[in-house]
Amino acid sequence: MRTVQYLMSSDPKYESNFNNRKFAISSTAKINGMKYADWMAKAEGEMNGNGFKFGSKTTQKSASVKRTADYSIAFDHKSKGFDNNNSEKCTGYITNCASFNNNINYQLPYTFAKWSNNWSWNPMKSDQSRQNQPLKTPRDKNAATKAVYAVRDKIFSNCRANKFADSVNFDSVIKGLS
């Protein structure tokens, strides 16, 4: 949300574009005082390659801190798909998620109040899932991967056309895993 706030305050057309379902950022947009393009280049160079990050070095290490993901998918990350990112001893609610083609698919050392219907395939390293919870593998990994990439490509196509992909999501892909 902070990024959206920066964009709205520095790009007079951003809010109008957003409200009209257009995915467009002007060259005048700034984040943290930097031009958007420069900020993106810097951010890409500093990224650690994790997908979903559930914490930071300031995250309280306590069971009262809850981490939730439902119908979320992480793929093709150079590091971890789902990462605790310094949030240890939290309570996890992870359901209907899929993670594949990451260096490590899941690294969540939590106590789980809910863990169900989560999928993992093709990690680069052995899946160091550390949460000691069951992970499912699709019968046909290639078909599952192709189904995810088809949705990804549809989202990319909409973005290139400056459109928000209203009803495009991965829910049906996850529901179709077996």
pLDDT tens digit sequence for 13-31: 888 887 777 767 888 888 8
Cα–Cα distance, 54 to 115 (Å, whole number): 16
Q: β-strands 52-53, 80-83: how paired?
A: parallel
Q: Is the CA virtual torsion 1, 148, 173, 79 positive or negative? A: negative
Residue 82 near residue 108, CB atoms below 8 Å: yes
Contacts of 120 (CB under 8 A, 6+ apart): 98, 99, 100, 105, 106, 127, 129, 135, 136, 137
Whole-number pLDDT of residue 129: 57
Number of domains comprising the chain: 2
Q: How far apart are CA 154 and CA 156, in angstroms?
A: 5
Q: What average pLDDT does the segment 125-137 reach?
A: 74
pLDDT higher than 80, residue 178: no
Tokens standing for residue 158? 């909409």
Does residue 13 lie in a domain region? yes
Based on the fold, state whether residues 86 and 130 are members of the same structural domain: yes
65 and 127 share one domain:
yes
Q: What average pLDDT does range 127-139 have in this prediction?
A: 77
Instruction: Tell me if 121 is assigned to some domain.
Output: yes
Q: Range of 133's domain?
A: 52-141
Is 158 domain-assigned? no
pLDDT band, residue 11 (cuts 50/70/90): confident
Q: What is the pLDDT of residues 29-88, one digit of tens each?
A: 888 888 888 888 877 777 788 899 998 878 888 889 899 999 999 999 999 999 988 888
Q: Categorize the per-residue pLDDT at 128 as very low, low, confident or very high, splitting at 50, 70 and 90.
A: low
The proportion of the chain whose per-residue pLDDT surpasses 90, expressed as a percent, equals 35
Q: Does one domain contain both 17 and 56?
A: no
**What distance in Å separates the CA atoms of residue 90 and residue 170, rounded to the nearest whole number?**
26
- Give the rounded distance of the alpha carbon of 131 from its chain centre: 19
Same domain, 61 and 37: no
